[in-house]
Amino acid sequence: MSTLEVNKLAPLADNGTVTLGDSGDTITIPSGVTITNNGTQTGFGGSNTPAFHAYRSDSQSVSDSTWTKMQVNVELYDSDGMYDNSTNYRFTPTTAGKYFIYGSTRSTVSLVAHYTAIRKNGSEVVVSHGDGSVGSTFNCQSTIDFNGSSDYVELFVYYQGASNSNQGLSATFFGGYKIIGA
């Protein structure tokens, strides 16, 4: 093995590119070596996008004993514009992969039961439930596979024991992000 000792690698060509190795080669960076990036990285690492987090801006009326889609209408962030916060209130990522999806609803009246569910393409993926004491919050989350074209998720709530309840303000939220390396 040969050792090349230099302080700086500069490209010979005018395009500013330095290539280390050829296709199929392995470049080993020994344990204990620190890599400092003061420029732009591309082609490694990945990102947790698309990602979004939205919350309900005001109360939403829901009928007793009926599943109701939450109209989570204010985006805190939406990295790739994949969350519809005005019409369908759904997340439809166009990048295939596994995503961590979460949602929360909160009762503002006393109920017999309170359920929060995340649905993928209209079918329930995960649900949380319990008694519906005033101010109770129910969170649900799951890792969900998306095909990158037509799969979508929505947040639903179900109340039992109250008529025309109102959902709690920003305590209702919905979000998700792509999982790197899964």
pLDDT digits (tens, 9 = 90+) for 81-129: 999 999 999 999 999 999 999 999 887 777 778 889 999 999 999 999 8
Q: Is the CB of residue 167 less than 8 Å from the CB of residue 56?
A: yes
Per CATH, which fold does 51-178 belong to? Jelly Rolls (2.60.120)
- For residues 161 and 170, give the distance between their C-alpha atoms in angstroms, rounded to a whole number: 23
CB atoms within 10 A of CB 19: 6
Residue corresponding to tokens 């969350």: 83
**pLDDT 10s digits, 10-26:** 777 777 787 888 888 88
Domain ranges of the chain: 51-178
